[in-house]
Amino acid sequence: MDAGYVRSVASMGTMVTVRVIGHGTSQRARRERTHAVDRAIAWFARVEAVCSRFDAQSELRRLSTRIGDAVPVSAMLFEAVQFALAVADVTQGAFDPTVGHRMEAHGFNRAYQTGEVAASGIEAADDVSYRDVTLDAAARSITLHRPLVLDLGAVAKGLAVDMASRELAPLADFLIDAGGDVFVGGHNADGAAWSVGIRHPRDATQLLETVRLSDAAMCTSGDYERPGHIVQVTTRETARAVASATVVAPSAMVADALATAAFVLGPIDGISMLEDHDVQGMLVTTTLDRFTTRGWAHD
């Protein structure tokens, strides 16, 4: 099989891999392919510089030091926070980007590059929520009304994948994998829709199912790789009923955020929420029962 042109970099706490099929027959095509992959991969560092919770110099962390002020922000941070707040709203807070301090309390406070503790030091009240954050679209500003730590972990990687996919779209047949957040464009080297496996949440050597996708994103939230890393806001307990939540959507940012929300909501409410948003998904409980949206199709 032609593996295509493959490039991998470590970014955003995981391994990011881009694969492009074709465009290798002429020097010009290869050069254009290389440049497109360069631009695609550059998005990961760019998004991380803005959205990282672990870097005190990130725009997100600098925003976190300004309480009560309407802080003008970059278009990227505005878009990411606006999207996170919108998902928080439609999921009644099951997804909430203000969980940052609870993530820190659960020990997710180390920068992956260095292993050093990179906690914000911000003391947030237990009842802070996304309602303590307001946006002004005209001024492109964000106001934090109380001390809180924004966490864009379920948004930023998807955003980077989406931006990368736009850079690669002219190449038609490509794959982006950001540590299990996947976007596939066009077809694989066999000219078929890409086969995307969903990891079994209790056995890393097994796949639960394989789905055929083209021009779509698939993201999975699971309780396995970083146990307890999804914090449930409503009960403040780590959500345990769902072991793995997988969502297929046109955008990785949407798929990632809704997978996280579905994970927190649980199998019944989670599937219902996904169907309300016209996306496909599968939830697997800790007892390994599967719940799928209507129309979920797998190989």
In our burial notation (b when 16+ CB lie closer than 10 A, e otherwise), range 37-58 reads beebbbbbeebbebbbbbbeeb
DSSP annotation of 171 reads G
Query: Cβ neighbours of residue 203 under 8 Å, at least 6 residues apart?
Result: none
For the chain, the distance separating the N- and C-terminal CA atoms, rounded to the nearest angstrom, is: 20
Give residues 84-113 in contact with another protein (rule: CB under 8 A).
Answer: 110-113
Site membership for another protein, residue 188 (CB under 8 A): yes
Q: Considering only 60-68, 90-98, 134-142, 179-187, which stretch makes contact with another protein by CB under 8 A?
A: 179-187
Query: What residues contact 199, with CB distance under 8 A and at least 6 apart?
Result: 180, 206, 207, 208, 220, 222, 224, 244
Give the span between the Cα atoms of 68 and 280, in whole angstroms.
39
Told to check if 225 binds another protein by CB under 8 A, we report yes
Among residues 221, 232, 280, 292, which is the contact residue for another protein, using CB under 8 A? 221
Residue closer to another protein by CB (options 80, 196) is 196
Helix (H, G, I), strand (E, B) or coil at 64: helix
Bridge partners of 175, per DSSP, are: 19, 184
Query: At CB < 8 A and 24+ separation, what contacts does 269-272 make?
Result: 269/94, 270/242, 270/245
Q: 125, 207, 288, 297: which one contacts another protein (CB under 8 A)?
A: 207
Residue type, 69: D
Residue from 220, 232, 280, 292 in contact with another protein (CB under 8 A):
220
Binding of residue 173 to another protein (CB under 8 A): no
Q: Which stretch binds another protein (CB under 8 A): 55-63, 74-82, 195-203, 289-297?
A: 195-203
Minimum CB–partner distance for residue 222 and another protein (Å): 3
* Shortest Cβ 67–another protein spacing (Å): 29
Among 36, 182, 239, 271, binds another protein (CB under 8 A): 182
117 binds another protein (CB under 8 A): no
115 lines the binding site for another protein (CB under 8 A): yes
Q: Binding of another protein at residue 181 (CB under 8 A)? A: yes
Nearer Cβ to another protein, position 144 or 252?
252
Does residue 13 touch another protein according to CB under 8 A?
A: yes
The reply to whether 250 sits near another protein by the rule CB under 8 A is no
User: Alpha-carbon distance 249 to 51, whole Å?
Assistant: 22
Q: Which helix (DSSP H) or strand (DSSP E) does residue 197 occupy?
A: strand 194-200
23 binds another protein (CB under 8 A): no
Q: How far is the CB of 169 from another protein (least distance, A)?
A: 18
Helical axes 267-276 vs 252-265, angle rounded to 10°: 150
Contact residues for another protein, defined by CB under 8 A: 1, 3, 6, 8, 10, 13-15, 17, 110-113, 115, 157, 175, 177, 179-182, 184, 188, 194-199, 204-205, 207, 210, 218-226, 229, 244, 246
